[in-house]
Structure 1
Amino acid sequence: MRATLERSNLLKSLAHVHRVVERRNTIPILSNVLIRASGQALTLKATDLDLEVLETVPADVGRAGGTTVPAHMLYDIVRKLPDGSEVALETAVDGQTLTVRAGRSNFSLQMLPESDFPDLTIGEFPVRFELPAASFKALIDRTQFAISTEETRYYLNGIYLHTPTIEGRTLLRAVATDGHRLARAQTAVPDGADGMPGIIIPRKTVGEIQKLLEGGEGNATIEISETKIRVTFGSVVLTSKLIDGTFPDYARVIPQTNDKLLKVERGAFSAAVDRVSTVASERGRAVKLALSPEGRLALSVNNPDSGSATEELDVDYTSDPIDIGFNSKYLLDIAGQLKTERAEFRFADPGSPTLIQDEGDDSALYVLMPMRV
């Protein structure tokens, strides 16, 4: 194999694929990136056996072929080469090393055979649809913070993507929950997605999709089988195994009868929670919300070890008085995902879950369990 390409193009592609590679591997081939030169392009591929990223980059190919070399080492080498340089990659005649040359810099990397590299993309993907990259990223951004990190409940370690039909309208819906909070975002179902199986996209894959779609325009192509998802965007193809489990019936925890309605300026509320929570302890991050029918919200934090804090806000609230506590970090996470100027909170009582969403917008909905204060 022999190929030459711009350092910037190679670095950008390696930045996408090398993140998948775990720093410590018991299987040597999984520490490597697969490089294949053919036609007028170089293909780079990396995997951890659950997630695979493949990217194609233009190159001047002198001799077709493929090999694998340590992914993080190659990335670090290319990152440290001078801007604007041309990088030449060439396999040695003995088939043992890959030479990386740029200007006066010369590196020889140990290779492992291409034939040992695993392939995740084998199999059929019967469901295929396109979705604007911005819409797909919004579904993920607005729900990913609620993914559980508790490994024993592995079926909550991802985002549940499915297509429910609500009042005759079919939606593409993303849901995540960790038992303390639930996030749900939805958009109109794209052509081809109607009737797709409900799938759970793993947390690591969710993070890689977020980075892949960052600032991107145009459509992402999504393909789904019963065990895998494949996302194609630009020159990158990401393939991942799905979580093999059953997502719980989340609709049961979304309150339907919360009748105490609070409307509050989102920015002012978020800033006030952030300020008073400064004195909260790491272990007990509770912030108390005291609402009175005169339209006043008092936020307070009491930490026996460091002190206390209070702040008042003028709000739109006319129901019965209520005192309720929440984890301040969870409140800020949700407030950070709201988009409209005013947020709506619907309460039942101090021990029941609260419903939070944007005013006049049902594209996202959040449920938050209270804390004792």
Structure 2
Amino acid sequence: MRFTLSSSVLNSRLQTLSKVINSKNPLQILDCFLFECQDGELRVTASDNENTMKTTIHLDYQEGEGRFAIPNRTILDAVKELPEQPLTFNIDTNNYMVTICYQNGEYNFACQNADEYPLPVNNLDGQTVLTMKSAILSDSISRAIFATDNNEVRPVMNGIYFDLTTENLSIVATDGHKLVRNINFELRNDVPASFILPKKPATLLRNSLAKDDSEVTICFTSRNAQITFGDTTIVCILIEGRYPNYNSVIPTDNPNILTLDRRTLLSAIKRVLPFASASSQLIRFNIEIGKVEVSSEDIDFSTSAKETLICDYGGQKMSIGFRGDSLIEILNSLDSEEVSIKLADPSRAGVIVPVTQPENQEILMLVMPMLISD
């Protein structure tokens, strides 16, 4: 078997697929990429036995068909330093040897029989199909993934929840201390359906999706999902279980609204956070009409810091505390110039929203307050 393809295209696809492969696998064959050559195309697959990612590359030349598996480190190291040029693969399927010919040189190494490579059982009977723009899905995942948990007791909190109703699609993540809800009003379904996407395939999607209007198709059941975009497909096992009622924890009446420049607030928090207690990461907001003082202190080490920012605020005077690292993650995940922080009192959750919402979307971030002493 023999085929030719672009070195840069192969390297780019392999770098993306390599994120699927674990450092330690239950099966040795999962340390490999599966190569399948057929009908002028090369299909390359990577798997960790729960998540499978497959991409298709057009071949410039093909002679013969077949399947083989190549150790991931061998092929990654072989192609990553090559400039753009044609690569010709010669595969001896009797002895499972590979020769890669390139300009001024060649590689020779062993491959493996592909018959042992496990392919996902993708039973999508009774599936629900969801189609959305690549940029919107990528942005939604990027905004939500930081709020997922690492909880062995409640694994449903470890993923991103897709809640498709007759009115909209909500993409939600929470760890119990912070929550992200991204509503898309363009997407709906006649029959409500939902799934919990694990963190690993969510990360693969965030790093792979194009920031454009190309379409992503998600076919899902209660157990697994198949996500297709461009020449790439991800098949993954979903997290089973009932996701918490996220809407019930979002306050609907927070009358005290603080509005200010997002980057200004983010920079101030970054400056005062190093002076906060390392264990609590507590940042205090002292808010009054027209201004907010952002401060921190560590009594054990006698350190403190504070800054005063100009803001738009007409509510009651208030002192409230939040984890600084959570605020930084929230503000980093937003794009708008200004944000509004909606508050009720120092014991109730604060709601952070962008002043300018994306078209046909509603973004909301929630952060729980911390106890502060006077």
TM-score by length of 2: 0.92
Query: How far off is 1:37 after superposition?
Result: 0.8
Which of 271, 274, 277 pairs up with 2:273? Answer: 277
Query: How far off is 1:184 after superposition?
Result: 0.4
Q: Are 2:96 and 1:96 aligned?
A: yes
Name the SS for the 2:329 alignment partner. Answer: helix
Query: How far off is 1:77 after superposition?
Result: 1.1
Query: How far off is 1:79 after superposition?
Result: 0.7
Q: Are 2:206 and 1:205 aligned?
A: no
8 Å Cα contact 1:212/1:233 also seen in 2: no
Name the SS for the 1:143 alignment partner. Answer: helix
Name 1:233's counterpart in structure 2. 229
Q: Are 2:248 and 1:248 aligned?
A: no
Name 1:158's counterpart in structure 2. 159
Name 2:144's counterpart in structure 1. 143
| 5+ long unaligned stretches in structure 2 | none
8 Å Cα contact 2:259/2:312 also seen in 1: yes
8 Å Cα contact 1:41/1:58 also seen in 2: yes
Query: How far off is 1:70 after superposition?
Result: 0.8
Q: Are 2:294 and 1:299 aligned?
A: yes
8 Å Cα contact 1:33/1:45 also seen in 2: yes
Query: How far off is 1:32 after superposition?
Result: 1.0
Deviates more, 1:305-314 or 1:92-101: 92-101
Cα distance in 1 for partners of 2:202, 2:93 equals 41
Cα distance in 1 for partners of 2:245, 2:122 equals 32
Cα distance in 2 for partners of 1:40, 1:360 equals 48
1:310–1:121 distance in 2 versus 1, CA, 3 Å: same
Summarize the alignment of residues 53-72 of structure 1 with structure 2, pairs less than 5 Å apart: 53-59=53-59, 60-72=61-73
Cα distance in 1 for partners of 2:64, 2:223 equals 37
Cα distance in 2 for partners of 1:242, 1:351 equals 35
Name 1:37's counterpart in structure 2. 37
1:275–1:27 distance in 2 versus 1, CA, 3 Å: same
Summarize the alignment of residues 1-373 of structure 1 with structure 2, pairs less than 5 Å apart: 1-59=1-59, 60-80=61-81, 82-120=82-120, 122-124=122-124, 126-165=127-166, 170-190=167-187, 193-292=189-288, 294-304=289-299, 305=301, 307-359=303-355, 361=357, 363-373=362-372
Output one character per residue of 1:82-133: Cα deviation in whole Å (capped at 9) or x when no partner: 3123222222253332223323433333333222111115322622232111
**Which letter maps to 2:151?**
E
Task: Report % sequence identity.
Answer: 25
Name the SS for the 2:208 alignment partner. Answer: helix
Output one character per residue of 1:48-86: Cα deviation in whole Å (capped at 9) or x when no partner: 111111111011111111111112321121113x31232
1:190–1:173 distance in 2 versus 1, CA, 3 Å: same
Cα distance in 1 for partners of 2:128, 2:234 equals 16
**Which letter maps to 2:238?**
L
**Which letter maps to 1:295?**
G
Cα distance in 2 for partners of 1:273, 1:39 equals 57
**Which letter maps to 1:303?**
D
Query: How far off is 1:256 after superposition?
Result: 1.9
Query: How far off is 1:370 after superposition?
Result: 0.9
Query: How far off is 1:322 after superposition?
Result: 1.0
Cα distance in 2 for partners of 1:25, 1:214 equals 29
Deviates more, 1:261-270 or 1:202-211: 261-270
Cα distance in 2 for partners of 1:131, 1:329 equals 31
Deviates more, 1:99-108 or 1:346-355: 99-108
Query: How far off is 1:200 after superposition?
Result: 0.3
Cα distance in 2 for partners of 1:85, 1:311 equals 56
8 Å Cα contact 1:128/1:224 also seen in 2: yes
Cα distance in 2 for partners of 1:36, 1:211 equals 24
Cα distance in 2 for partners of 1:368, 1:13 equals 38
Cα distance in 1 for partners of 2:337, 2:93 equals 65
8 Å Cα contact 2:133/2:212 also seen in 1: no
Name the SS for the 1:357 alignment partner. Answer: strand
**Which letter maps to 2:13?**
S
Query: How far off is 1:259 after superposition?
Result: 2.2
Cα distance in 1 for partners of 2:62, 2:213 equals 30
TM-score by length of 1: 0.92
8 Å Cα contact 1:16/1:53 also seen in 2: no
Query: How far off is 1:148 after superposition?
Result: 0.7
1:121–1:135 distance in 2 versus 1, CA, 3 Å: farther
Query: How far off is 1:222 after superposition?
Result: 1.6
